[in-house]
């Protein structure tokens, strides 16, 4: 018996990375899933690999007509939507504030914030009518601390996502709809390469190259993996989280917790030596 038996889910940005792995795990746990994304070839391969419990719909998460079409397709196919994971997103302009082009700023806000708003806007009436549901928005540790992203615009957009999540949770919670966010830390996906200029396909293939660097970022001595996020999404989609609403769950191996113990102790020893004391 799977943890998501009988559940119907929508996952946006499902052609690679966190989204794709989430779809795979959800189907393995008994859910029926509508997966969406812009890269039709990758979406179709996902559908073919998972069989009848996965339907891929080509869609742009920033386009309101497309977003409504995805939700309508899910209701038409399986009669309901129990869970929506607003996972779609992308890189944002890098550099100092004086270098940011308005066009790049607007595109990033559309990709990272408008997409989340549209998903919630159009799934809410369905979930209200059926008596409940769960929505999860993909945030980031970059929303909590400056310098956690290659882009300050990305950080600001994700801060908007996590606060919008809480605002909507206060509204929809009254209708038995839980709204939460997940904030990943250093997860091995193609988004980092895309942010620095690699084409999407190349960025996805090169993602594994950052594993060693990511392993040293936080107390847990390994790089984060897409399934680390997918399994928290599964918890929020399941009935195990029926009383969890309006929260941002950080999945980062301890990255934002503070200074790592070893580095802290090395700093203290340096201070002891500067004061003429013996190092410990």
C-alpha gyration radius of the chain: 20
Residue 21: strand, helix, or coil? helix
Q: Residue 184 pairs with which residues in a beta bridge?
A: 251
Q: Which of 145, 154, 180 is nearest to 258 (CA)?
A: 145
278 DSSP assignment: P
Q: Which strands make up the sheet holding 177-184, listed edge to edge? A: 54-58, 32-37, 8-11, 83-86, 133-138, 177-184, 248-251
Structure tokens at 176: 């038995």
Helix (H) and strand (E) counts for the chain?
Answer: 11, 7
- For residues 251 and 231, what is the distance between their CA atoms, to the nearest angstrom? 10
Burial of 254 (0-12, 13-18, 19+ CB in 10 A): middle
180 DSSP assignment: E
Burial of 253 (0-12, 13-18, 19+ CB in 10 A): buried
- For residues 132 and 145, what is the distance between their CA atoms, to the nearest angstrom? 33
Place of tokens 């993996």: 225
Residues forming the active site = 154
């Amino acid at each position: 018996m799977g943890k998501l038996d009988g559940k119907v889910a929508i996952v946006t940005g499902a052609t690679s990375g966190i989204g794709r792995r989430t779809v795979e795990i959800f189907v393995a746990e008994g859910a029926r899933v509508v997966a969406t994304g812009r890269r039709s070839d990758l979406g179709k391969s996902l559908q073919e690999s998972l069989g009848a419990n996965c339907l891929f719909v080509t869609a742009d998460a920033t386009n309101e007509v497309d977003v409504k079409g995805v939700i309508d397709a899910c209701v038409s196919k399986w009669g309901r939507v129990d869970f929506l994971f607003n996972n779609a997103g992308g890189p944002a302009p890098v550099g100092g504030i004086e270098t940011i082009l308005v066009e790049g700023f607007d595109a990033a806000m559309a990709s990272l914030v408008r997409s989340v708003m549209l998903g919630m806007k159009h799934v809410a009436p369905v979930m209200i009518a059926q008596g409940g549901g769960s929505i999860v928005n993909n945030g980031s540790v970059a929303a909590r601390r400056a310098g956690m992203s290659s882009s300050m615009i990305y950080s600001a957009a994700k801060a908007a996502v996590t606060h919008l999540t809480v605002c909507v949770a206060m509204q929809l919670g009254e209708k038995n709809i839980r709204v939460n966010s997940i904030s990943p830390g250093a997860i091995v996906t193609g988004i980092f390469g895309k942010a620095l200029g690699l084409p999407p396909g190349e960025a996805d293939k090169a993602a594994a190259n950052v594993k060693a660097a990511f392993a040293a970022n936080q107390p847990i001595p390994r790089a984060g993996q897409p399934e680390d996020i997918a399994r928290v999404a599964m918890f929020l989609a399941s009935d195990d989280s029926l009383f969890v609403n309006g929260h941002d769950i950080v999945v980062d191996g301890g990255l934002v917790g503070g200074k790592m113990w070893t580095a802290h102790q090395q700093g203290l020893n340096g201070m002891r030596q500067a004061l003429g004391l013996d190092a410990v």
